[in-house]
Homo-oligomer: A and B are copies of this chain.
């Protein structure tokens, strides 16, 4: 997993045709399968959109007639139950592509996507995706690979939910978030700014926000991790790993 990805903004046009060929994210994303020449096809069939925090990228149920590529900021995938319980499922970062499965197979989105902060996404219509996968079959394989990775992640999560305590799962989540959002100081202390509200953290852990709140207080008391609003300070990140391995509840 790559750590913090800083996104070089498109210097060319403001809202359209920023030229994917030059996009810093391309090398990290599934588009890396494309040659420079093919990348121009991509650039031609693409437009970009800027979203404010909380704005919706797409909604569950809407037709998957385009894919979205995160260019900057981060995007949350949520699924909402029939009873209105919303659960956070995945975070998407610059370079991540959303909706290709639906776009290729012709389904509709099964979850909502929402900007976690101000962010930019590139929108690519199905035609273009179709043309690219026709020209370069590797792209399709890349998408299959990605999807199966996500499937594995989701299943791993199911195993964790079945066998670990809330506390252990939260420790695990913190470790993962730290890999992306954390900064490690020379003395080994890690600090980060959480990209999520407590409610969303709770939902990623699979519990209620009150319970998470208590877990946080305890971690704080015990000196494992110090929380202040969205800022966290973790003296020894290994203590989290330990929490996670002890596990059961």
A residues near B (Cβ < 8 Å) are 79, 81-83, 85, 87, 89, 101-102, 104-105, 107, 110-111, 137, 140-141, 143-145, 147-148, 150-152, 154-159, 161-163, 203, 206-207, 245, 247-248
Contact A83-B247, Cβ < 8 Å, known A137-B140, A154-B155, A158-B154:
yes
Chain B residues within an 8 Å CB radius of A245:
82-83
A140 in complex: contacting residue of B101, B111, B144, CB < 8 Å = B144
Which residue from chain B places its CB closest to the CB of A247 in the assembled complex? B83
Task: Give the copy number.
Answer: 2
A249→B89 CA distance, assembly (Å): 21
Smallest beta-carbon distance A246→chain B, Å: 9
**A87-B159 contact given A150-B151, A154-B151, CB 8 Å threshold:** yes
A144 lies within 8 A of B105 (CB): yes
Nearest 6 CB-CB pairings of A with B: A101-B148, A154-B154, A105-B145, A85-B163, A162-B206, A151-B151
